Amino acid sequence: MYINGVEIEDTFAEAFKMRAARLIITAANEKWALTAAQVATGFATSVIACGAEAGIEGTISANETPDGRPGVSILVFTMGPKAMEDQLMRRVGQCIMTCPTTACFNGLESEEKLKIGGSLRYFGDGFQISKLIGGRRFWRIPVMESEFLVEESFGIKKAIGGGNFLILGESQQATLEAAERAVEAMREVRGVVMPFPGGIVRSGSKTTSRYKFLRASTNTAYCPTIRRQTESALPEGVNSVLEIVIDGLNEWAIREAMRVGIRAACRPGVVRISAGNYGGTLGQYQFHLREVVG
């Protein structure tokens, strides 16, 4: 199968079960809402070392937010509820509450909830005040600037992490340009984030290592500089590979993000689109490339 002369390999991306939360961050203006969102989603590329995977889902107009101010939606993914509680406590408390003019609201309706604001309220040292509006409880926590408004509970849902595809290009520049185009298209899809820097991974990994103390190591089959030294999956003419990893709230969102991303990446200088998998041994979900883009 080919799209614009680019081969779509007959393979699949392997993804796995995660938990997700959506946070709505508002502020006096979009600049500060984005600042809080960027800091709160920092150091969140992979659960392997970061504890969470997170990213900005998109901006929200003032007429769509709970407090009528400009907002930004972020998604946070972890392997389970306990890890999510720890990550949200740290990221809301240290990154959002500290940012000028912000407030933070739950963005996912779910029976499974975590009392994030209900725990952060103690920072108010006894001066915090609760308000119940439309069945939702909010906490007003006094801070030096004014007060921090945060919702008591945040819903979490079952989600999917690790959707991906690989862009195999003739040069570093061509591959990067294709990856940038892909991420730009994928950011229009609601319910997904690409957690790595700029949405792109240069250092894809495999789940084995010759070193006993490492859980993962560089994906040697796709490293062009060592293709003559190890078993390689690279066809002739490929000199650079970039990966795009997708976390999503459901299968449809990941499939749609992969579809638009792969099609956007099929441009001059790209030889093949592939995907990372481990023979179906790692995750519970498989996204077959040719079915996704067909």
| 145, 174: one domain | no
Averaged confidence pLDDT in the chain: 96
| 135, 230: one domain | no
| 137, 168: one domain | no
| 33, 138: one domain | yes
| 192, 266: one domain | yes
Query: Which of 157, 190, 213 is the last residue in one of the domains?
Result: 157
Number of domains in the chain: 2
| 59, 150: one domain | yes
Per-residue pLDDT tens for 145-197? 999 999 999 999 999 999 999 999 999 999 999 999 999 999 999 999 999 99
| 232, 183: one domain | yes
pLDDT at 121: 98
Per-residue pLDDT tens for 148-159? 999 999 999 999
pLDDT at 70: 98
Query: Which of 112, 129, 157 is the last residue in one of the domains?
Result: 157
DSSP-derived secondary structure for the chain: -EETTEEE-S-EEEEEEEEEEEEEEE-SSHHHHHHHHHHHTSS-S-TTTSS-EEEEEEEE-GGGSTTSS-EEEEEEEESSHHHHHHHHHHHIIIIITTSTT-EEEE----SSEE-SHHHHGGGGTT--EEEEETTEEEEEEE-SSSEEEEES-EEEEEEEEEEEEEEEESSHHHHHHHHHHHHHHHTTSTTEE--SGGG-BSS-EES--SSTT-S-EE-GGG-GGGTTTS---PPTT--EEEEEEEEESSHHHHHHHHHHHHHHH-STTEEEEE----TTSS-SEEEEHHHHH-
Share of the chain above pLDDT 70, in %: 100
| 23, 152: one domain | yes
Band (pLDDT 50/70/90 cuts) for residue 127 is very high
Lowest mean pLDDT of 96-110, 232-246, 274-288, name the range: 274-288
pLDDT at 268: 97
Domain that holds residue 53: 19-157
| 197, 74: one domain | no
| 8, 83: one domain | no
Query: Which of 123, 157, 191 is the last residue in one of the domains?
Result: 157
Query: Which CATH number characterizes residue 40's domain?
Result: 3.30.70.520
| 138, 237: one domain | no
| 213, 245: one domain | yes
pLDDT at 9: 97
Answer yes or no: is pLDDT of 281 > 90. Answer: no
Per-residue pLDDT, averaged over 248-260, amounts to 98
